[in-house]
A and B are shown apart, each in its own frame.
Chain A
């Protein structure tokens, strides 16, 4: 199966993404376009991962210029329940997601065919197809790019952490003392900037692979058009009698995991908690709102129908017997 997704098809997607990046920088409605460019997804075959953390180190190295450099002391925030979130002195933490670590390796030891086996799983943002973080961000800081990347724009983010609350995996992580909120009302609104994997959007725009994929010595990850990635994931699943995670979770994501053991079993043994996402099934968080949005079209039609009906009834009433 290796090499099915060619560098050419990846670069094709990358060029399309570059176009999308240009279009998305326009602050005018011209940028309002339905996504016609194919989304890029990544395939993570957890059988191949040896947990060497080369991807984690590469992610930190490549994304260092994007990392927060907070100003200290932090402004006093009110009320007192608002807590500072400071990772700037813990930049070396690699066993969970932080503003300075957008990818980490999760370990799961399970019994397969009577034998204990340990799997290592690279975890980061899933890059949902319909991301609630982007849909519900009140300031447009979180957004989705045409190539399927969900990105938090650190220039706009106020660090309210809503994206983390609505994310089914609670991926984004906050750093206090940076960003736009410092120029607004730092004591009363905002609390820094949220950070997470942006799937190296800038490298992809230049036709390069995301750092974690580029450096992996075991070729654990692949990137390509989503339908090709899914085709390959299903082929592996069939071949090994395995399982897929990310295809349908939260309505579909652009991160597809393939495993020889059920994700339900992996989820039971992985360490979860703050900065350590789970692997449980996730229903489409935005489905209800999307259905309601479609139904919204009916409301003005119903209103107009009621007004028209009222008019015709009163017109009929006002007509005398002679008129009839």
Chain B
């Protein structure tokens, strides 16, 4: 599977975090699309076991849960990289691109969560801007991640302890 010798193996701990990251990404992506009224229209909620996907309160709750997990993971990865990873790891160019996209998703997501708090009012135009940007960043990220998985591009290189694979 490994095409380049400088790619690294995940430690057991990071492998577990990587799996959590993947699951949280799938959960937030799916429930994020579920914020639009499309799952019922396009029969997704008719699939046995998927009726919950047409419940907007359920998808909203799960989207928030997924976002919480991702925020925790991002904070962990960033500080871990600053404290110890930087000495042993180098981010790949594709990682920087993914980080920029993810920062866009996080920033617009935080604004949207803030907007949803009681008594916080945004203009319709700004709300629409946030929503479309959030969706746009997410779609570009998912497409990019797919391409990078096919190209087998990782997040980091030149280390023997730590690698986040293409996601």
Contact = CB atoms under 8 A, between A and B. Distances in A.
B121 A296 contact: no
A298 B71 CA distance: 9
Contact of A307 (B57, B76, B116): B76
B83 A307 contact: yes
Given A34-B120, A156-B128, A162-B56, A314 B64 contact: no
Interface string A143-164: 1111000000101100011100
Interface in A116-159: 129-130, 135-136, 138-141, 143-146, 153, 155-156
A145 B121 contact: yes
A80 to B, nearest CB: 11
Nearest to A303: B75
Contacts of A251: 118
A299 B124 contact: no
Contact of B56 (A31, A165, A288, A301): A165
Interface string B117-141: 1111111111111111000000000
B72 A299 contact: yes
Contact of B123 (A26, A138, A302, A310): A26
B65 interface: yes
A140 B61 contact: no
Given A79-B42, A289-B64, A303-B71, A146 B76 contact: no
Contacts of A34: 119-121
Contact of A302 (B65, B72, B124): B72
Nearest to B68: A299
Given A140-B131, A143-B124, A129 B118 contact: yes
Contact of A162 (B37, B121, B123): B37
A166 interface: yes
Contacts of A79: 41-43
A214 interface: no
B150 interface: no
Contact of A153 (B61, B79, B115, B124): B124
A141 B36 contact: no
Residue among B42, B65, B75 having the largest count of chain A Cβ atoms under 10 Å: B75
B74 interface: yes
A286 interface: yes
Contacts of A153: 124
Interface string B48-92: 000000001100110011011101111111111001100000000
B128 A314 contact: no
Contacts of A155: 124
A301 B79 CA distance: 11
A225 to B, nearest CB: 15
A112 interface: no
A127 to B, nearest CB: 14
Contacts of A189: 36, 38
A29 interface: yes
A89 to B, nearest CB: 25
A298 B64 CA distance: 13
A273 interface: no
A317 B68 CA distance: 31
A237 interface: no
Nearest to B37: A160
Contacts of A285: 57
A114 interface: no
B44 to A, nearest CB: 12
B159 interface: no
B68 A31 contact: no
Given A139-B128, A251-B118, 13 more contacts: A23-B123, A28-B123, A79-B41, A160-B37, A161-B37, A293-B64, A299-B71, A300-B74, A303-B76, A303-B79, A307-B77, A307-B79, A311-B84
10 contacts: A28-B126, A34-B119, A79-B43, A130-B119, A140-B122, A143-B122, A155-B124, A292-B65, A308-B83, A311-B79
